[in-house]
Every structure is written in structure tokens, then in C-alpha cells.
Amino acid sequence: MSTAPASASGAAQAAPAAGAPAREHAGATAHATPRSPLGPSFDSVTPVPAAAPAPAPAVRIDGVSKRFGTGPVVLEDVSLDIAPGEFVCLLGASGCGKSTLLNLIADLDKPTAGRIETPAEGAAVMFQESALMPWLTARRNVELALRLRGVPRGERREKALTLLDAVNLADAAEKRPHELSGGMRQRVALARALAQDRPVLLMDEPFAALDAITRDLLHEELERVWRATGRTIVFVTHNVREAARLGQRVVLMGSRPGRIVQEWTIAKTTGRRIESPEVAALSVEITDQLRKEIRRNAA
Ligand SMILES: Nc1ncnc2c1ncn2[C@@H]1O[C@H](COP(=O)(O)OP(=O)(O)OP(=O)(O)O)[C@@H](O)[C@H]1O
Ligand SMILES: [Mg+2]
């Protein structure tokens, strides 16, 4: 795994030129690029193809600030582009504004200044507490999300079972939440979030209450689901190891006011485990920055 600390400006990019909106990249498309003067008849020289157009970001956060009433500024001038299919971890100390930012992306609240663009289909949200309906079985909890999405009654059962199977919970489909472990409940919550079939999945410390082994298992399952579904994931955590284990990009937020201070792009994301040396090395680097940020705030 290689890591590349990016600028602290907040103008984040998942990959070279992957973050800007399509309209700003109109000049970089194959159609708009002037043809190379080196035609095919030019012996032994192959014209370089025009660069592929950069995809529009799935989520664009542009100069966003947030203040609750007359309270202090919670978020200040946050800008972040998240590419389609990207897995971004938002990391920061408690109270720095991670949940506030996630709620703004989810359109559960409005920014005081700036703009947020998300796909027209919106985003699914998964919180730390699974918030399942206690009187419904795992399957029926997932079916409820399918019903709200407008999936016809006759198709819901099979679809719900497929989603529960995707999170390794097929055997527990007929159990109710109180009969499930915390990890199983979060799996149902993940299946329910996937049932909403939104291109963007926002996760606010979904595994924070779980023990280390269960969390490790759920990391693997989430990674598998992410790779299989191509969802764009924004994952909030204050656990550095978790961010280094899961993210393609780790975005570190500072506190008071909340803003982006640094980010790391992880080139090789396959085969990572929480105990992998590269995850440990990146965690040390991120923790150093996080400590500096916390000290700066305490000063
Ligand atoms: N509805 C609200 N009204 C007033 N202040 C709020 C509201 N929601 C959040 N805040 C304040 O905004 C700041 C950021 O809160 P937020 O919940 O976003 O932090 P966080 O980074 O998610 O923290 P944690 O890691 O503990 O979950 C805090 O100071 C909090 O008190
Ligand atoms: Mg929070």
C-alpha cells in the first residue's frame, strides 16, 4: 500500500482528475480535445489517445459551513469531491463535526453556507444504532425498506433474502432484533440500507459498539459488499485503524471549527486486514496528525 498525503486545502481528489464535475471537465473529453497532428500515417508513431473524461463526482461538497442557531461555527468552508464508487473515511476527534457533515450530505439538515450535490436518487444512511423495528423479523425489516422503495409485494421476500444472504445472515432471516447479536443487527441494518438501492451509502460509526472481532468480520463484509455493488461510501469514524483498514481515502477533520486538515489516498486497498503492517504504518502517520490537531485545539 502506498499513501500520498494530499494538500490540506480540502479540494480532495480520489484519483487524478477524478473529482471535478462533468461540466467543468467538458474541455477534457475525447470529443472536445483537438485531434493529434500525428495521424496514423506517421510511421511508427502512435497518436496518444485523449485522456478519458473524468467522471462527475457522486458527492460534491463545496465551501460548506454550518452553524446551529447563534452557536459557534461547527463546520467551516468544507470542500470535498467524492468520486462514484469511492470509499472515503471521514476521521476526526469527537465533536469535530463528522456527523453534522454526514447529516448535511444526507439532506437531513441544511448548510448555513455553501452547496452539496448528491445523486438525484439520494443517499442511504446507516447509524451507530441499527434502529430496526423490534417487532419485525430481520427479513421483514429489510422488506419494509423495499416497500418504501416501491418494490412490488411479490418480489420483496426474495429480494430481502438475497440481501440478507449478501451480509451472511440468511439463517437468521426469521429472527427478531432482540434475538440477534449486536453484529447481526448491524448486518441487518446494512442489508436494509442496501435495500434502499441508493448509489451513495453514508455510514456514521456503524460498528463503534461492536467488539473487535465482530468489527473485523464486518469490515470484511462491508468491503465485499462495496466491491460487489460499486456503491459510493462515506464512512464516519473516530477509529484511526478502522479508517486505514477500510478507506480508499482517509480525510482527517480538525475541530472548532470542523474543517478538512489532511487526507491520504491509499493506492492498494486489496488484501488489507486490521493487523496488516501497512494499515499499522498508515495509522501511526494519521494518529500523529490527529494528535497535533487535538493539541492545537487544546492550546
Ligand atoms: N442539532 C444541534 N444543535 C446544536 N449543536 C449541535 C447540533 N448537532 C451538533 N451540534 C454541535 O456540533 C458539534 C459537532 O457535533 P457532531 O455530532 O457533528 O460531532 P462528531 O464529530 O460527530 O462527534 P462524535 O465523534 O462524538 O460523534 C458539537 O459541538 C455539537 O455539540
Ligand atoms: Mg458523530
| Atom in ligand 1 nearest the alpha carbon of residue 102 | 18
**Residue 236 CA to ligand 1 centre (angstroms):** 13
3-state secondary structure at position 239: coil
CA of 295 to the centre of ligand 2 (A): 20
Q: What pTM did the predictor assign?
A: 0.82
Give the H or E element holding residue 189: helix 182-195
Q: Where in the chain is the domain with CATH 3.40.50.300?
A: 1-16+57-122+198-299
* Contact in structure between 164 and 138 (CB atoms under 8 Å): yes
DSSP 48: P
DSSP conformational letter for 258: B
Residue 69: all three cell numbers together: 442557531
Q: Where are the alpha helices (DSSP H) in 22-152?
A: 98-105, 138-149
Residuewise pLDDT in 10s, the chain (299 residues): 444 444 433 333 333 333 333 322 222 233 333 333 444 444 555 666 677 777 789 999 999 999 999 999 999 999 999 999 999 999 999 999 999 999 999 999 999 999 999 999 989 999 888 789 999 999 999 999 999 999 999 999 999 999 999 888 999 999 999 999 988 999 999 999 999 989 999 999 999 888 888 889 889 989 999 999 999 999 999 999 999 999 999 999 999 999 999 999 998 888 899 999 999 999 999 999 999 988 888 77
Q: Is the CB of 44 under 6 A from ligand 1?
A: no
Q: 74: CA distance to ligand 1 center in Å?
A: 8
- 117 phi, psi to nearest 5 deg: -115, 130
Confirm or reject: Cβ of 95 under 6 Å from ligand 1: yes
Q: What is the pLDDT of residue 47?
A: 62
pLDDT of 130: 77
Q: For residue 211, what pLDDT is reported? A: 87
Phi, psi dihedrals of residue 15, rounded to the nearest 5°: -150, 165
Least distant ligand from the CA of 98: 1
State residue 52's pLDDT score: 73
Asked if 213 contacts 155 with a C-beta cutoff of 8 angstroms, the reply is no
H helix runs in the chain, sequence order: 98-105, 138-149, 153-166, 182-195, 212-229, 240-246, 277-298
Q: Whose C-alpha lies nearest to ligand 1, atom 23?
A: 95
Q: Looking at this protein, which amino acid is placed at residue 161?
A: L
pLDDT for position 15: 37
* CB distance 91 to ligand 1 below 6 Å: no
Q: Is 182 in the pocket of ligand 1 (CB under 6 A)?
A: no
Ligand 1 pocket test: pick from 64, 65, 75, 98 the residue with the most ligand atoms within 8 Å of its Cβ. 98
* Separation between Cα atoms, residue 299 and residue 292, nearest integer Å: 10
Half-sphere exposure of 264 (CA within 13 A, CB side): 26
Q: What distance in Å separates the CA atoms of residue 189 and residue 181, rounded to the nearest whole number?
A: 12
Ligand 1 pocket mutation pick from 99, 112, 293 by most atoms within 8 angstroms of CB: 99
Fold (topology level) of 1-16+57-122+198-299: Rossmann fold (3.40.50)
Asked if residue 250 lies in contact with residue 286, where contact means CB atoms within 8 angstroms, the answer is: yes
Phi, psi of 174, rounded to the nearest 5 degrees: -95, 10
Predicted confidence at residue 48, as pLDDT, reads: 67
CB of 71 within 6 A of ligand 1: the answer is yes
What's the gap in Å between 98 CA and the centre of ligand 1? 8
